[in-house]
Structure 1
Amino acid sequence: MANSEIAKVSDITVTDVTDYLRIPEVTAEDTALLTTALNVAKQFVMSYTGLDAEGMDAHEDLVIVIYVLCSSMYDNRAYYVDKSNINNVVESILNLHSINLLPQE
């Protein structure tokens, strides 16, 4: 599936991430790193926004957030997201969908 066709976070595969990153020859090490990065990115988005997996799927723009987070983790070879140094576009999109910021009733 081409990256432009993905409309839900749950549809993103490691192959989609490697295509997005334009990795010419994917090694087993790359696959392992990106599998973990993809899982961490999804968990980060859920934690940041308060959305569950179904809630993330309702927002197509979160797909690019997952790609950007995976790219950052791949480039830095780190399995975490530094909230104090998050990409401005990623933060803006996440803030649009964050239910954690809403007052509790």
Structure 2
Amino acid sequence: MARAESQAVALLRVEVAYSPAPRQVDVVVVELPEGATVLHALRASRLLERHPEIDLSVQRVGVWGRAVGLAEPLRASDRVEVYRGLRVDPKEARRQRYRSHKQERVRR
């Protein structure tokens, strides 16, 4: 009996996050057995059910901002992130903001 208790499975506490729109974040904390992968965390979080627009064949996933595959093993306190596609290239968005600010200063 003591031997079975000593072989108890250690659990990892992992955060899973997705931002469906600017300033909206869906974060779930899940507990998984050691050896769990990114895909296990996504399934346990039920994020894919709440956000059917997520397509893992197209969208990238990462751990703490570093892109990884779905089979990547997780460690305690990892943060799994699902990235949505950008609507505008960040450099182009910066140019547009600069132009609009420049036009506002000219009008004043």
Give the TM-score normalised by structure 1. Answer: 0.30
Structure of higher RCO (CA pairs closer than 8 Å, 6+ residues apart): 1
Instruction: Looking at secondary structure, tell me which structure has more helix per residue.
Output: 1
Structure with a larger share of its residues in strand: 2
